[in-house]
């Protein structure tokens, strides 16, 4: 879209000058015809029916990804980092919204170059231990995914949604740990909408990365932006030095309240705002520093990750995303409480 | 100016051509391919008219009563022995006149003896088999005529007619002496193994056809898993120290590739097992305690290229199915290199294997459907028997000639059943 817009503009500009310089006209015509061609091709190549086109394409993508991955052992040290996206799903009675959220996420992930692994966690009744509708949906997407099922206990309905979401994240982290899957892990929710730049730049993260998150509350007509404050010390290194909250009240005509700087969160960080390199899950040094005084938390990988995220903030080793000043919202989270 | 127009036109034409070619390729991906001029065509042979089989009428304690006692026998990997019996009873190759029969079949369900947990352990099988042979040898003249050389038996247990579930003991026992001249139809296949005699017919293990049918997904579903495997890597209960189970090959798969995002491998058996195979490019079929496993059947039926990791395996109907062309063979010692072996297979080779696997006759030959269908595993067994005809001179004994030693083998086997 962006390139098409650029094309149009150029054509318009040149046309006004055309009587004076035919060279410019010629160039403009070349430009416009090239743009037309590109658009035509894009239209032709766009898969009208996703599964049919995906059949061979995904397969080839997988292959290409594999070649990239294994070139590490031979001679190319610069191989792309694996991106692991963990998506937790809401309660099972919410199947339409889950389908919508998964479809949207799948479309976003299809735009990310391989290698990418999508872990979708879902609760399933213990006796069935199956979730066929989701499995079917995921299969059609062509995204390299693993559908992890979590047994649903009897008492689960009384449990808070946030607790269950946390349990689901633990299931995914356990899978990553058991398999020692090395890559950058991003936690996603069904209501999350990604800026593609975030997905593209995730694999640049070496330890931690953080970015501004906008939480849109549909019913209160309010937007809350949370994110790291980044300071660009030199051309190469970006450090995060703080944390800000900003409310925008749409009801009051989009009035912005001043961004409130505050120190990094002290205990746990909201998982939507950061991604981390999975090796720290099995890094003994980090586990050593984990306070044993908190036995509940030490059992839970998610809490561990959130805590380490805070540590990383304080040590200023976190990478601001996607660029040096962390000024752009990379993730939109829509809060709907139906 | 004209030059530019020309250049653009050429470019457009080239791109259209390229896109067209690509679309063609995608369409070809869904096509099937026949193996013309090779053994593959044998799969479509019709055995009717090429052989006649006489089915001995045994007391039901050798077959039906065993099944009645434990109906689970119909669902395990060795159920082919039961379905083969049922198939022959209504088959067009069956003859009621033993004088015109080319082959004799003894319906005895030796593996239908399950532990409470459902494991078939063939402790009673040797005595049962012996008892059945004694019966046919006394009541009909045909056994003694050849001492079993024109008889075939279905012995689908782990180590076939060696009748033991542990390989070491099975080797120690050897094939039941009374079956030394008979043709064995068995799942076990490994070259140069005492439990595989010359002339045996290796068949696929039984996999429930209706169940597999029920899990079919649209064939255009993208294959988003590169390598898939579900099953044990270690058998800690039977091989606590490790190294014996699967000769270490499965352990090596896990240790080398558990962290590889392209390897979707695990011990969990998910409810979408069959569906996941259909969205995988490669399905690992490593040996377990025996070289074969139901994965061979599942991979072929679900169009997933079988990666066979079992040195010296003899594959089902290897004289009719071009395993080398549809599958990938990886030596057990090369398991650590599995990633580079699989990723270096050229795309067109993979696409060809997928087209061959899409050939329905390949899938049909792996299944024992109810009722039987042309070209299925029953028919392949008959084809195999028909190809051994006419019988050679050494099949029938000269008057007074004796080849079998009725008292050979472990003493325990000689006890009446």
CB contacts of A57 in chain B (<8 Å) are 26, 222
Record: contact B222-A26, CB cut-off 8 A: no
A33 found inside a domain: no
Query: What whole-number distance in Å separates Cα of residue A114 and Cα of residue B334?
Result: 27
User: What dihedral do alpha carbons B302, B305, B310, B311 form, nearest 10°?
Assistant: 140
* Residues on chain B touching A54 (C-beta within 8 angstroms): 222
Note whether B124 and B228 are same-domain residues: no
Mean local confidence (pLDDT), A1-23? 42
C-alpha A11/C-alpha B390 separation (Å) is 84
From the list A34, A58, A66, the residue facing B343 with the nearest CB is A66
Mean pLDDT of B92-104: 94
Of B217, B226, B259, which is closest to A179 when you measure between CB atoms? Answer: B259
Name the DSSP letter for residue A246: E
Beta bridge partners of A333: A192, A215
| Per-residue pLDDT band at A292 (split at 50, 70, 90) | low
Q: Is A333 helix (H, G, I), strand (E, B) or coil?
A: strand
Give chain A positions within 8 Å (CB) of B259. Answer: 179-182
Q: Which of residues 95-124 of A touch B (CB under 8 A)?
A: 115, 117
Mean per-residue pLDDT for A42-70? 43
Whether residues B225 and B186 share a domain: the answer is: no
Closest CA to B258 of B283, B287, B229, B289: B229
- What pLDDT score was predicted for residue B5? 55
CB contact under 8 A, B222 and A142: yes
B343 and B262 co-located in one domain: yes
Q: Which of A293-302, B10-19, B356-365 shows the lowest per-residue confidence on average (mean pLDDT)?
A: B10-19
Which chain A residues are closer than 8 Å to B337 by Cβ? none
- Lateral strand order in the sheet of A208-210: A145-152, A116-125, A83-88, A184-188, A274-277, A208-210, A319-320
Do both B111 and B251 map to the same domain? no
Q: How far apart are CA B129 and CA B156, in angstroms?
A: 13
Please report whether residue A273 resides in a domain: yes
Task: Reduce the DSSP state of residue B401 to 3 states and report it.
Answer: coil
Determine the Cα–Cα distance for residues A232 and A209; give it in Å rounded to an integer.
15
pLDDT in tens, B54-75: 999 999 999 999 999 988 989 8
| A189/B178 Cα distance (integer angstroms) | 66
CB atoms B272 and A51 under 8 Å: no
Indicate whether B247 belongs to any domain.
yes
With beta carbons less than 8 A apart as the criterion, state whether A270 and A169 touch. Answer: no
With beta carbons under 8 A apart, name residues in chain A contacting B339: 66, 70
Query: How many contacts does A have with B, using Cβ atoms within 8 A?
Result: 119
The DSSP-derived string for B268-337 is ---TTHHHHHHTEEEEEEE-SSSS--THHHHHHHTTPEEEEE-TTB--TTTTTS-HHHHSEE--GGGGGG
Over residues B217-221, the mean pLDDT reads 90
Q: What percent of chain B has pLDDT over 90?
A: 60
Residue B116 has pLDDT above 60, yes or no: yes
Lowest-pLDDT range of A119-128, A166-175, B332-341: A119-128
For the ranges A12-21, A230-239, B79-88, B292-301, the lowest mean pLDDT is seen at A12-21
* Domain span including residue A201: 83-210+263-323
pLDDT tens profile B242-269: 888 899 999 999 999 999 999 999 998 8
Asked, for residue B245, whether it belongs to a domain, the answer is: yes
Q: Residue B339: which domain range?
A: 209-366
Specify whether B177 is located in the same domain as B223: no
Domain identity same for B191 and B264? no
For CA atoms A17, A22, A24, A26, the dihedral sign is positive
Looking at the domain assignment, is residue B27 inside a domain? no
| Whether residues B48 and B175 fall in one domain | yes
Residue A121 pLDDT greater than 80, yes or no: yes
| Range scoring the smallest mean pLDDT among A66-70, B132-136, B217-221 | A66-70
Residue A259 touches partner B, C-beta closer than 8 Å: no
The answer to whether ipTM exceeds 0.85 is no
**Whole-number pLDDT of residue A272:** 76
Q: CA B205, B209, B213, B214 torsion: positive or negative?
A: negative
pTM, entire model: 0.78
Q: Which residues pair with A230 in a beta bridge?
A: A240
Instruction: Say yes or no: B25 contacts chain A, CB-CB below 8 A.
Output: yes
Indicate whether B80 and B131 sit together in one domain: yes
Determine, yes or no, domain membership for A5: no
Does the bond joining A198 to the residue before it have cis omega, within 30 degrees of 0? no
Residue B206's closest CA among B291, B80, B114?
B80
- Mean pLDDT along residues A207-215: 84
pLDDT top residue among A146 and B2: A146
With cut-offs at 50, 70 and 90, classify the pLDDT of residue B28: very low
In a domain, B271, yes or no: yes
Q: In chain A, which among 168-207 make CB contacts under 8 A with chain B?
A: 178-183
- pLDDT above 90 covers a percentage of chain A that reads 15
How far is Cα A264 from Cα A93, in angstroms, rounded to an integer? 37
**Whether A58 and B223 lie within 8 Å, measured CB to CB:** yes
Residue A254 has pLDDT above 60, yes or no: no
pLDDT of A53 higher than 50? no
d(CA B142, CA B188): 27
* CA dihedral for A152, A103, B276, B72, sign (positive or negative): positive
Contacts of A172 in chain B (CB under 8 A): none
User: Is the domain of B226 the same as that of B353?
Assistant: yes
Residues near B348 by Cβ (< 8 Å), separated by ≥ 6? none
**Distance from chain centroid for Cα B320:** 12
Q: Is the pLDDT of residue B84 over 90?
A: yes
Residues B160 and B281 in one domain: no
The CATH number of whichever domain residue B341 belongs to comes to: 3.40.50.2000
Q: Are residue B186 and residue B112 in the same domain, yes or no? A: yes
Which CATH number goes with the domain that contains A160? 3.90.550.10
Any idea what the Cα angle at residue B327 is, between residues B321 and B329, rounded to 5°? 115
Q: What is the pLDDT of residue A160?
A: 72
Position B90 pLDDT exceeds 50? yes
Query: Which of residues B208 and A78 earns the better pLDDT score?
Result: B208
Do residue A142 and residue B260 have CB atoms under 8 angstroms apart? no
What tens digit of pLDDT does each residue of B279-332 get? 999 999 999 888 988 999 999 999 999 999 999 999 999 988 999 999 999 999
With CA atoms as reference, the chain B residue closest to A132 would be B272
Residue whose C-alpha is closest to residue B229's, from B291, B307, B330: B307
Same domain, B196 and B273: no
pLDDT at B345 over 60: yes
Q: What phi and psi values does residue A131 have, to the nearest 5 degrees?
A: -140, 75
Q: Is residue A231 part of a domain?
A: no
Comparing CA positions, the residue from B365, B387, B388 lying closest to residue B378 is B365
- Indicate the SS3 state at residue B134: helix
Q: Does any domain span residue B401? A: no
The 10 Å Cβ neighbour count of residue A101 is 21
* B309 φ/ψ angles, rounded to the nearest 5 degrees: -115, 85
Per residue in B199-213, pLDDT (tens digit) is 999 999 999 999 999
Asked if the structure places residue B105 within a domain, the reply is yes
Residue A276 falls within a domain, yes or no? Answer: yes
Count structural domains, chain B: 2
How confident is the model at residue A7, as a pLDDT?
Answer: 41
Give the nearest partner residue to A41 out of B15, B30, B343, using CB atoms: B15
User: Is residue B3 in a domain?
Assistant: no
Decide if pLDDT at A251 tops 80.
Answer: no
Strand partners, A192: A333
List of residues 6+ apart from A332 with CB closer than 8 A: A192, A193, A194, A195, A213, A214, A216
Structural domains counted in chain A: 1
Between residues 239 and 258 of chain B, which touch chain A (CB distance below 8 Å)?
Answer: 258
Which of these ranges, B129-133, B235-239, B325-329, has the smallest mean pLDDT?
Answer: B235-239
Pairing of strands A145-152, A116-125: parallel
Question: Is residue A338, in this structure, part of any structural domain at all?
Answer: no
Backbone angles phi, psi at B273, to 5 degrees: -55, -50
Of B79, B351, B18, nearest to B204 (Cα)?
B79
């Amino acid at each position: 879209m962006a390139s098409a817009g650029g094309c149009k503009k150029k054509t318009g500009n040149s046309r006004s000058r055309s009587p004076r310089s035919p060279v410019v006209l010629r160039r403009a015509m070349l430009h416009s015809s090239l743009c037309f061609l590109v658009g035509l091709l894009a239209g032709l190549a766009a898969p009208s029916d996703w599964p049919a086109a995906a059949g061979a394409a995904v397969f080839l993508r997988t292959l290409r990804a594999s070649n990239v991955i294994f070139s590490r052992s031979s001679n190319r040290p610069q191989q792309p980092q694996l991106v692991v996206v963990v998506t937790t799903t809401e309660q099972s009675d919410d199947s339409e919204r889950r389908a919508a959220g998964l479809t949207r996420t799948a479309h976003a992930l299809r735009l990310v170059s391989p290698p990418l692994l999508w872990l979708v966690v879902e609760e399933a009744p213990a006796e069935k231990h199956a979730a066929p509708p989701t499995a079917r949906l995921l299969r059609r997407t062509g995204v390299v995914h693993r559908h992890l099922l979590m047994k649903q206990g009897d008492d689960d309905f009384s449990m808070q949604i946030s607790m269950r979401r946390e349990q689901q994240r633990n299931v995914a982290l356990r899978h990553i740990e058991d398999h020692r899957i090395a890559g950058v892990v991003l936690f996603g929710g069904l209501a999350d909408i990604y800026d593609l730049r975030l997905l593209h730049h995730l694999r640049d993260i070496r330890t931690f990365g953080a970015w501004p998150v906008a939480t849109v509350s549909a019913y209160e007509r309010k937007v809350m932006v949370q994110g790291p404050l980044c300071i660009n010390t030199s051309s190469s290194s970006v450090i995060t030095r703080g944390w800000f909250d900003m409310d925008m009240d749409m009801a009051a005509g989009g009035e912005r309240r001043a961004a409130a700087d505050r120190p990094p969160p002290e205990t746990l960080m909201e998982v939507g705002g950061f991604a981390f390199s999975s090796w720290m899950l099995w890094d003994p040094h980090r586990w050593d520093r984990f306070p044993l005084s908190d036995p509940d938390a030490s059992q839970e990988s998610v809490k561990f990750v959130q805590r380490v995220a805070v540590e990383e903030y304080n040590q200023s080793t976190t990478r601001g995303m996607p660029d040096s000043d962390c000024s752009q919202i990379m993730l939109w989270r829509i809060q709907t409480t139906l | 100016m004209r030059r530019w127009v020309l250049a653009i036109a050429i470019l457009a034409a080239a791109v259209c051509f390229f896109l067209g070619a690509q679309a063609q390729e995608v369409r070809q991906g869904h096509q099937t391919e026949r193996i013309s001029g090779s053994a593959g065509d044998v799969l479509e042979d019709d055995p009717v008219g090429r052989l006649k089989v006489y089915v001995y009428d045994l007391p039901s304690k050798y077959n039906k009563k065993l099944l009645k006692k434990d109906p689970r026998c119909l669902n395990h990997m060795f159920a082919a022995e039961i379905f083969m019996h049922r198939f022959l009873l209504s088959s067009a190759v069956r003859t009621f006149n033993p004088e015109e029969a080319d082959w004799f079949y003894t319906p005895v369900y030796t593996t239908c003896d399950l532990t409470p947990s459902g494991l078939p352990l063939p402790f009673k099988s040797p005595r049962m088999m012996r008892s059945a042979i004694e019966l046919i040898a006394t009541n009909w003249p045909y056994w003694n005529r050849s001492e079993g050389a024109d008889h075939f038996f279905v012995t689908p247990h782990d180590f076939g007619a060696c009748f033991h579930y542990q390989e070491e003991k099975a080797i120690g026992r050897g094939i039941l002496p009374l079956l030394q001249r008979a043709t064995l139809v068995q799942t076990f296949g490994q070259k140069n193994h005492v439990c595989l005699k010359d002339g045996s017919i290796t068949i696929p293990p039984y996999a429930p056809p209706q169940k597999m049918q029920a899990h079919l997904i649209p064939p255009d579903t993208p294959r988003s898993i590169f390598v898939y495997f579900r099953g044990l890597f270690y058998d800690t209960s039977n091989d606590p120290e490790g190294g014996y189970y699967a000769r270490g090959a499965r352990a090596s798969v896990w240790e080398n590739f558990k962290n590889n995002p392209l390897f979707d491998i695990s011990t969990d058996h998910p409810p979408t097992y069959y569906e996941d195979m259909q969205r995988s490019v490669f399905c690992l079929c490593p040996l377990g305690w025996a070289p074969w496993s139901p994965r061979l059947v599942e991979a072929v039926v679900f169009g997933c290229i079988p990666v066979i990791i079992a040195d010296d395996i003899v594959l089902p109907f290897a004289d009719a199915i071009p395993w080398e062309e549809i599958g990938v063979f990886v030596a057990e010692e090369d398991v650590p290199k599995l990633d580079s072996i699989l990723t270096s297979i050229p795309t067109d080779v993979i696409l060809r294997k997928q087209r061959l696997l899409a050939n329905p006759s390949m899938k049909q030959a792996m299944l024992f459907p109810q009722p039987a269908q042309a070209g299925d595993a029953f028919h392949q067994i008959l084809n195999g028997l028909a190809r051994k005809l006419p019988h050679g001179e050494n099949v029938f004994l000269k008057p007074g000639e004796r080849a079998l030693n009725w008292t050979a083998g472990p003493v325990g086997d000689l006890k009446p059943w």
